[in-house]
Amino acid sequence: MPVVALAETHCTGGASVIEWRRMRPTNAHRLARGRWSGGVDFGVRGEQMIGRVLKNRYKLIDERGRGSMATVYIGRDIETNRLYAVKALSREAAADSELAERFQREFELLTRISGPHVVGPVDFGEDRGCLFIVMDYVDGHTLKHAILTGGQFAIRRAVDVIEQSAAGVATASAQGVTHRDIKPQNLLLSVDGVVKLTDFGLARSHESRDITITGFFVGTPFYVAPEQVENSRRADTRADLYSLACVFFELLTARVPYDGEHAWDVVMQHLNAPIPSASALRPELGSAYDEFFRRALAKRADDRFQTPQAFVEAVDALPQPGAVAGRSDERPRALTGAPKVVSAPLAAAALVASTGQVFILSAPDMVVGRSDPQRGYKPDVDLLPLDPAQTVSRRHARFSRQDGRYIVEDLNAFNRTRVNGTPITPHQDVEIHDGDMLRLGNIDLRFETRQR
């Protein structure tokens, strides 16, 4: 007689898909002992890809991460010498029309989501049977790596990281996108302390056709919301916030809320087990954190925080031992549209238009350009309302903060970015100072810095 068992496979880039299926008893027992291979190995062979040039432009120079069906590489744009992250789907997975469709949908969803706490898309293509996505490169590591190498985070740092992560969730939510695989492995922490959400391989929007196979749920057992187990198609932003609460618990304690020897053990705890006490693992947290997790990890979605804004407000209200009473990091809390949550800047920078409109550069790395509603693209700073003639490119210029200096980079715009009347070379860093005048298309902007 066949028995019901649980098998874990992987979607693009390591995103997990959990399947209930009927299998022979011997296979079920092998699975229970952790020996079930699941069949064909869809992994990309990294040693065969290093040095390869995709689309005659992106040279793969190093491997950054590997999943069962895709591998992420560091790629160098041989035209601009700029580094990018390149996610390549294996040939075997690309030959599966459903997986190929999901991979292309991941890129399409990314083009709709623009914000300082989401990894930005650059290009999508196919090269000799290899489907790939080119994304902004983040110099840093995943939160999982940070936890494994450094243990639990200082409380104030954990709060800052989770609020930035919530900003990424809010950016997706504002565009009607549910990530469905929030976990530390999908949150990148840059060397500058900026968090960016990545890997939308399991994400879906309200409009997209759901291609999840009946009998599966998508997600990762350690972080999956109860309703996502029961029906992945109905998971919404509240499921992403549940997963984010699991990440917060792990940042604070270096332990996941629910653990077990097998995936099914963990999933059943999410469904039925009492909510664990964070203060029992780290007494300095106190009862306020336990109260937060009782709501954030509630079994019913209606009993949890309903929006990223509510989630962040609750996190911000938590006591932080060692922090100055009545502290104010002056970080923006608005989580609608394109969130701007950054890590305690020393100075505020802004672009001031001739009309008097002020655009705050609230994150260490922001793209200024023109939104394209038809393509669903919106930059961090959108100049379309000031530019009816559309002289500004969609991705016109990048403004970044590096070691206390402010840098502008022209992103190969059709009308070159000008600083104090001089056009700058594309993809070349140019330092700017308080009072400098910039021209993007026909839009004049004054750069200002103000000490906080």
- Mean pLDDT for all residues in the chain: 80
* Domain 140-316 superfamily per CATH: Transferase(Phosphotransferase) domain 1 (1.10.510.10)
Range of lowest pLDDT (17-26, 309-318, 356-365): 17-26
pLDDT in tens, 247-270: 999 999 999 999 998 888 999 999
Q: Please state, in angstroms and rounded to a whole number, the distance separating the CA atoms of residues 127 and 143.
A: 32
Catalytic option among 136, 160, 181, 240: 181
Closest CA to 142 of 14, 311, 279: 14
Q: Please state, in angstroms and rounded to a whole number, the distance separating the CA atoms of residues 18 and 24.
A: 18
Would you call 181 a catalytic residue per the annotation?
yes
Average pLDDT score over residue span 308-327: 76
CATH of domain 46-136: 3.30.200.20
Average pLDDT score over residue span 437-445: 94
Q: Please state, in angstroms and rounded to a whole number, the distance separating the CA atoms of residues 214 and 228.
A: 13
Range of lowest pLDDT (178-182, 258-262, 326-330, 386-390): 326-330
| Model pTM above 0.85 | no
Closest CA to 67 of 102, 100, 43, 96: 43
pLDDT of 338 over the 50 cut: no
H or E element, residue 245: helix 237-253
pLDDT in tens, 82-94: 899 999 987 777 7
| Boundaries of every domain in the chain | 46-136, 140-316, 347-451
Q: Looking at domain 347-451, does it have CATH number 2.60.200.20?
A: yes
- The confidence band for 54, taking pLDDT boundaries of 50, 70 and 90, is very high
Closest CA to 78 of 99, 58, 48: 58
Strands 187-190 and 130-136: what pairing?
A: unpaired
pLDDT of 217 reads 59
Kindly compute the dihedral angle of the four CA atoms of residues 138, 113, 270, 267, in this order, to the nearest 10 degrees.
-70
Closest CA to 103 of 87, 83, 121: 87
pLDDT in tens, 128-186: 888 999 999 988 899 999 999 999 999 999 999 999 999 999 989 988 898 999 999 99
pLDDT of 446 reads 94
Task: Indicate the burial class of 277 (C-beta count within 10 angstroms; 0-12, 13-18, 19 or more).
Answer: middle
Q: Please state, in angstroms and rounded to a whole number, the distance separating the CA atoms of residues 118 and 396.
A: 18
Kindly compute the dihedral angle of the four CA atoms of residues 222, 340, 440, 351, in this order, to the nearest 10 degrees.
-160
pLDDT of 57 reads 93
- The confidence band for 412, taking pLDDT boundaries of 50, 70 and 90, is confident
